[in-house]
Structure 1
Amino acid sequence: MKDEDIRDLFVGLGPITIRRMFGGKGIYHEGVIFALEVDGEILLKADRESAPDFAEAGSRQWVYTGKSGRKPTAMPYWSIPDSALDDTEEMSAWARKAYEAGLRTRK
C-alpha cells in the first residue's frame, strides 16, 4: 500500500508517520505505533480493553507464522472492520481506539 493511501485512510486521526519495518510498515501518531501495514493490509493495534470490540465488529486478529517452522503467534493487531473502510468518521473512531491501545501498552 502506498504511503499516500495510508495517510488518506487516517486523515481523521491527524498527522501520521510511516516507517519501514520487518518487510512492512509501522504507522505512528504522535510517536506511538498504532497500526501496521503487512502484505498490503492495514492492521490496527488492540489490547485487552479494545480487542473484544474488534472481535465483535468482525475483525480478525493477525497471526504471525514466521519462518523456520515457528509456532503461529497471535499478535495484538486486528484487521479494520469492513464497515469502517468506506466511512471516514468510523475509520477515525477505530484509529483513535488503536492509538489509545498503543498509549496503554507503551513501554
Structure 2
Amino acid sequence: MDDDAIRDLFAGLGPISIRRMFGGKGIYHQGVVFALQVNGEILLKADARSAPAFQAVGCRQWMPAGRKGRGPVAMPYWSIPESAIDDAEEMTLWARRAYEAGVRSIKK
C-alpha cells in the first residue's frame, strides 16, 4: 500500500505521518506510532486494554520469528478487522483504539 492509500485509510483519524522502520513503515498521529506496515500489511497497535477487542473480531496478532531459533515473538500489533477495511467510520474507530494504545504505552 502506498503512502497516499495509507493516508486515505486513516483519514478519519486526522493528519498522519509515515516513516520507514523495521523494513516497513511506522504510521503516526500527533507524534504517536499507532500502526505499522510490515510485508505489505497494515497492523494496528493494541495493549492489554484493547487487544481483547481485536481478538474478539478475529484479528491476528503479529508474531515475527524470534532471533536464534527462539520461535515467534508476540508483538503489540494486530491485523485490521475485515469489516473495517471498506467502512471508513469503523476504520476510524479501530484507528482511534490503536492511537489510544500508543498514547498509553508512552505514559508507562
Identify the residue that residue 3 of structure 1 maps to in structure 2.
Answer: 3
Could you tell me which amino acid in structure 2 is paired with residue 40 of structure 1?
A: G
Calculate the TM-score normalised by the size of structure 2.
0.95
- Give me the whole-angstrom Cα distance separating, in 1, the residues matched to 2:92 and 2:60: 19
Identify the residue that residue 45 of structure 1 maps to in structure 2.
Answer: 45
Identify the residue that residue 62 of structure 1 maps to in structure 2.
Answer: 62
SS of corresponding position for 2:103: helix
Identify the residue that residue 28 of structure 1 maps to in structure 2.
Answer: 28
Identify the residue that residue 76 of structure 1 maps to in structure 2.
Answer: 76
SS of corresponding position for 1:26: strand
Unmatched segments (≥5 aa) in structure 2: none
Q: How far does residue 74 in structure 1 lie from its aligned partner after superposition?
A: 0.4
Identify the residue that residue 87 of structure 1 maps to in structure 2.
Answer: 87
Runs of 4+ in 1 over 6 A off after TM superposition: none
List per-residue Cα deviations over 1:37-84 (Å, max 9, x = no partner): 000000000000000000001101000115543431000000000000
Corresponding residue pairs, total: 107
Could you tell me which amino acid in structure 2 is paired with residue 74 of structure 1?
A: A
- Give me the whole-angstrom Cα distance separating, in 2, the residues matched to 1:95 and 1:31: 14
List per-residue Cα deviations over 1:22-49 (Å, max 9, x = no partner): 1100000000000000000000000000
Identify the residue that residue 105 of structure 2 maps to in structure 1.
Answer: 105
Say which structure is richer in strand: 1
- Give me the whole-angstrom Cα distance separating, in 2, the residues matched to 1:64 and 1:56: 21
* Pairwise CA RMSD: 1.1
- Give me the whole-angstrom Cα distance separating, in 2, the residues matched to 1:66 and 1:72: 5
- Give me the whole-angstrom Cα distance separating, in 2, the residues matched to 1:24 and 1:70: 22
